[in-house]
Structure 1
């Protein structure tokens, strides 16, 4: 059995802690054989545990404590601590592992509720489970979500070499916001979502760059965001936004402008990896 979970990008600018998309990079978990103790074979670095302390197994055994130990193989091309849902993908994979090995017969909604309770918000775990574009809420313990087709475009991920932990990125956010500012921020998010549903990426991209919830406070941590937007305006992208808490920036672009934008990004002074991705429409899959 093999479980595959996509990378994700949360927020899309103003859809803070609510909107997310699934991307064509993946975490894969393969069940190899029975064992006396749990073991995870991987080449992801010494910081990633190979035993029951791994987040994957912590999640699975929380749901199904009596699972018989297995040897697992973990592979991933999702960058760690870069705002592309690396931890969310592991949580989702752990839930699916418990679901399959423990015969839990969880529905998609139940998987999402469990993942949201663990993660704290649904913006990454929802598209990781469902695929495509998902808008979700988590209020008073209730999770509600809507999946919709994301309009066709290329997605360029500009992934700086340095980490930016979510805790650090969240620490710069305010505890309160004036009511009038919150109304403006909400209206921008509403138009962004409506434009996506309507297939209007030029308008959606415009709204993505008008976020009032978080990007203004995080700009000092990610100065390359404004630089990328300036490049994008000259080349003709739809929009650029922080992926989750950063430092990765996602750029949505028409296919015909992708090559030119990538070349411009390669000339930026910051050391980064640049990947051209697509929207994953399937979410978590089991083979």
Structure 2
């Protein structure tokens, strides 16, 4: 059955005034927190929602040129799923989408789109799902809760899915925590980045990973940022993905010696995230060094300072 056929008739969505949903980017894993730790960052996907004659999606801007306008689009897919899970007809609305988040760069563009669609639908319907259910649905669609939680809730989110469902802790990192995103111009699909990971690991590597993931969570929750240099070390994915990303290895190894708190691969990459203390670090010196690394490895790209986002998804009137 087509989406338009399942939409409510014109006027049925008129119970709400036009609104916008703004959802932040996110960096997942932060080293050892594979598929369970995410940090929200101040780049945004925005969806503007207005009553319309039928359900339609309109992407805006060069970043979204050529993206689907139907159920293949994550915003549309999430919007429809939220209505289905709420047991309500899909309202006839126009979804206008624009995004600052580069696609396939490891900055949570898909999670932001999914969360935006879910929140847009829940807002249209009067809020029957609520944040906890939205988090569950976003994690289901995304396949893991790291980017989904950060995009929805903001701050740093540490989450686990198990027999008792989804459990998480959302923390607000200290305001002095700054980030520099090293964003190559080329894409790296998550499927490719996951494909290079081994099927099994040694007990030694498993213990290393567990201890460092625990330390990462403790560092974020306590605000002991000096622990991040050790806490972000990883043996699960970064050593295997580094050959796919020129320049990543020296950034991971040298950033703390250059005055940063830590460095890690952002999600599946290719973006690298450098964490630094805004009160103590030489930010300009770090940026100059990171640009030199890109030049040395002949990687077209940019270095962007991004603030940690603490609000998550926000709904505002148009």
| TM-score (norm: length of structure 1) | 0.94
- Please report how far the alpha carbon of residue 41 of structure 1 lies from its aligned counterpart in structure 2 after TM superposition: 4.0
Instruction: State the partner residue of 1:94.
Output: 117
Task: Check 1:230–1:188 CA distance in 2 against 1; reply closer, same or farther (3 A cut).
Answer: closer
2:241 is the alignment partner of 1:218? yes
- The answer for the alignment partner of 1:31 in structure 2 is 49
Residues 182-201 of structure 1, C-alpha deviations (whole Å, 9 max, x = no match): 11210111112212222221
Pick closer, same or farther for the CA change 1:52–1:175 going to 2, 3 Å: closer
Structure 2 match to 1:257: 282
Partner of 1:281, secondary structure, is: coil
> Which one of 74, 78, 89 corresponds to residue 97 of structure 2?
74
In structure 2, the partner of 1:84 is 107
Deviation for aligned residue 1:61: 1.1
Q: List structure 1 segments (4+ residues) > 4 angstroms apart after TM superposition.
A: none
Structure 2: how far apart are the matches of 1:181 and 1:231?
22
1:279 aligns with 2:302: no
Instruction: Find the aligned partners of 2:64 and 2:300 in 1 and give their Cα distance.
Output: 21
Per-residue displacement from partner, 1:78-124 (whole Å, max 9, x unpaired)?
Answer: 01000000001111111111101123422211111111111111011
Quick check: 80-89 or 262-271, which moved more? 262-271
* Structure 1, unpaired ranges of 5+: none
Aligned residues: 286
Q: Which has the larger radius of gyration?
A: 2
Rate the CA distance shift 1:36–1:116 in 2: closer, same or farther, 3 A.
Answer: closer
Distance 1:197 1:33 in 2: 42
Matched with 2:162 is: 139
For structure 2, the residue ranges without an aligned partner over 5 or more in a row are 1-18
Q: Secondary structure at the match of 1:36?
A: coil
TM norm structure 2: 0.85
Q: What RMSD, in angstroms, separates the aligned Cα atoms of the two structures?
A: 1.7
Q: Which residue of 1 aligns with 2:198?
A: 174
